[in-house]
Amino acid sequence: MARYLPDGSLDRTSGADGKVISDFGWRGAFALTLQPDGKLVAAGAQDIGNRPAFALGRYLPNGSLDPAFGVGGKVATDFGEAPPP
């Protein structure tokens, strides 16, 4: 993900020159929201075993994962068996 300032330039105080790459083992992140306190929450999907799961990661304004959120900044909710196609 990348964090931008209001003028469209990268926020170089976040991550490595404004960019953060995290490996969650996700299928992908599909949404990102900025909380009022400046923290970012990324939402995506991941597999737990062979089952689908909803996954979140929360980042501090400096781009590091928020250790106060879930386990090391990450949360996954297993929804059980996937429905048949």
37 vs 76 pLDDT, higher one: 37
Please give the model's pTM, rounded to 2 decimal places: 0.76
Distance CA 70, CA 59 (A): 12
50 three-class SS: coil
Contact 50, 56 (CB under 8 A): no
pLDDT in tens, 16-40: 888 888 777 767 788 989 999 989 9
Question: What is the pLDDT, as a whole number, of residue 65?
Answer: 92
pLDDT band at 82 (very low <50, low <70, confident <90, very high): low
* Residue written as token pair 């400046």: 38
Averaged confidence pLDDT in the chain: 84
Contact 17, 11 (CB under 8 A): no
Answer yes or no: is pLDDT of 58 > 70.
yes
The CA–CA distances, whole Å, from 29 to 7, 9, 47, 67 equal: 25, 22, 13, 19
